Amino acid sequence: MQSRNYSRYRARSTRGHVILWRRKKTERRFPSEPNRHGLPEMSGAAKPAFSHRVSAAGQSPGRRQTRAAALLFAAVFSGTALLLPRCPGFSETLRLSAMLMGGQLAAESPPAVQTAAPSEPLPVSQPEVPAETAAEEPQPPESTSENKPESEPEEAAVSDIAPENQAVLVHKTYTASPSDVYVQVGSAFVKNVTDYGNNTVLEAEAASPAFSLTDTNEPQVLIMHTHTTECYMPYTGDVYDTTYATRSTDNSRNMAAVGEVIAEQLEQAGIGVLHDVTQHDYPSYNGSYERSAATVRDYLAKYPTIKVVLDIHRDAIVSGDTVTAPVVETAEGTAAQVMIISGCDDGTMDYPNWRDNLAFAIDLQQQMEGDHPGFTRPILFDYRLYNQNLTTGSLLIEVGSHGNTLPQALLAGEWIGKALAEVLK
């Protein structure tokens, strides 16, 4: 082992007498004598020689004070560890500290009416939206709520919505005047955007129904939803939150909730009804109509007594940064306006009996408008299929828009059910 040139005083006690002695500079350091600090030794003149005075007990006053301080700290620490957890707010302080250290501390807000586990977001592209919209409906992340609102939601505070997420929300009652496009039928209108003349619409108005219900306990009406997860806003007001989810897999707040209200009114009228709540648009939006067609065919095969098939949707009315909620104000409350879509064949759709469907659409619209004036938007008569070729009583009904609230849509559903029961009697 290499010799180290150093000078150091060490001390030891014999019978209470202090003895100071000095190592020789040439003395070897063996492994059995490590540096007490655990640090590398300084060599030669760089390391000063020093003497250390010790007491008869073999310890310096500084070391005794250090030991006493250590004992005092240990006692205080132990006492604190035992008593601190009993202090009020200790657990909350630990939780907030942990969140802060993880960078997750955020202002807490009241929970929205939401709850089911998050699922895959729906596609942004929506080529199958059947409504007359100026722009495609936005597709924020899916909402997952469990609680169904029982009354009209309060108006949202604009300060709660970030400026970049705000759009104008307009509540509007749609009306029309006679023209080449808008054909007046009774107290309502049909919007004819086909090459068929307006006489086609008037002939359908005058036509007798293509079907009638029979005296049976078997189901004669099927209510279903191609786009089941379409849902509504949680509040009213004149500002729309563009980040709010317009789809939900929670059937208590999507189109299934509206369909259920319609079915209840038919049951109360003694009409056999089936309500299918299959989510044909989840997890994939594309192919929804193919899947819903298969569902309808299965029901028709099992229950050949079915005469009417209603596909209940809600519209999406957007123009630039403005969202429109179609409404009608009545003494019974504010309801979402509804629009029936009745398609026709352009020669490629295998839809030969579309005139019967149009006649049924006009009859239902007339009943709804007679019960609640202003309740219906003009029927959209266009080259659309939407599986309406499966029965002569197949219609697609848009109940409000994504700017409406669920209570508005539920009231509309109640009115649809009552009017349909009257038409089918």
Residue 384, domain member (yes or no): yes
pLDDT value for 204: 97
User: Which of 64, 79, 94 represents a domain boundary (last residue)?
Assistant: 79
Per-run averaged pLDDT (10 residues), the chain, 425 residues? 42 41 40 40 40 43 60 65 57 50 39 34 36 38 42 63 93 97 97 97 96 95 98 93 95 97 98 98 97 98 98 97 97 97 96 98 98 98 98 98 97 98 95
Residues with Cβ within 8 Å of residue 41, at least 6 apart in sequence: 4, 6, 29, 35, 47
pLDDT value for 401: 98
Residue 85, domain member (yes or no): no
349 and 257 co-located in one domain: yes
Residue 387, domain member (yes or no): yes
CB atoms within 10 A of CB 217: 8
Question: In this structure, what token pair is assigned to residue 259?
Answer: 């369909």
Residue 112, domain member (yes or no): no
pLDDT value for 4: 43
168 and 263 co-located in one domain: yes
**Domains in the chain, number:** 2
Instruction: Specify whether the CB–CB gap between 402 and 323 falls below 8 A.
Output: yes
Nearest to 412, CA basis, from 248, 310, 308, 261: 261
Query: 297: domain CATH number?
Result: 3.40.630.40
Q: What does residue 168 show for φ and ψ, rounded to 5 degrees?
A: -75, 130
Q: Are strands 9-14 and 333-336 parallel, antiparallel or unpaired?
A: unpaired
Residue 410's domain comprises: 158-424
- Give SS3 for 223: strand
Residue 100, domain member (yes or no): no
pLDDT value for 62: 54
74 and 165 co-located in one domain: no
Residues with Cβ within 8 Å of residue 189, at least 6 apart in sequence: 176, 178, 182, 183, 378, 379
pLDDT value for 326: 98
pLDDT value for 160: 82
The pTM of the full predicted model, rounded to 2 decimals, is 0.67
User: Which of 33, 58, 79 represents a domain boundary (last residue)?
Assistant: 79
pLDDT value for 91: 55
User: Which of 29, 50, 79 represents a domain boundary (last residue)?
Assistant: 79
164 and 59 co-located in one domain: no
Residue 318, domain member (yes or no): yes
Tell me the C-alpha distance between 399 and 408, whole Å.
Answer: 9
Residue 141, domain member (yes or no): no
pLDDT value for 236: 87
